[in-house]
Amino acid sequence: MTTLEWALQALLVLALCATVPGAIRLERALTTLARDRTDLAAAAKQLAEAVGEAEAAMLRLRGAADRAGRTTSEQVTAANRVAEDLRFLLDRAEAQADRLDLAVRSNRAPREAAAAPPPSAPRPQPSPESAPNPERLQAEESLLRVFRSRQA
């Protein structure tokens, strides 16, 4: 071998030695990138699953909201019907009460006129027998105390 060949081979060995650290760094970077790529793919898969679950939950929520809306609407409609019925019954009850009041007043007026003493007649004075009995008053007071103590 000639000197030139030796020099070229030495130059080639030096170039290879210079590229080995770069190749090692490149291999580590590619390994990290491949690992990150698998992690990224796993994360994307988990994200897709989470999105699918969220969409399913949204559909269930929409269905529940629709059912609740329909139920509420039906209840409001039923309540409106009951309110109309109650208004009708109230109107009828007021009319009946007015008629009853009129009948009572018309029936009471002749009785009061007949039972009323003449204005010039003196009022009767209470007799001593109708005066309150102290024993009776005491019995009534004790009875009231018993009722009050039972209520408390």
**Model confidence over 8-29: pLDDT tens digits?**
999 999 999 999 999 999 999 9
How far is Cα 30 from Cα 37, in angstroms, rounded to an integer? 10
Is residue 125 over pLDDT 70? no
Q: What is the mean pLDDT of the chain?
A: 85
Is residue 119 over pLDDT 90? no
Q: What number is the average pLDDT over the span 101-111?
A: 80
Residue 117 CB contacts under 8 Å (≥ 6 apart), including other chains: 123
pLDDT at residue 107, as a whole number: 82
Q: How far is CA 83 from CA 72, 74, 87, in A?
A: 16, 14, 6
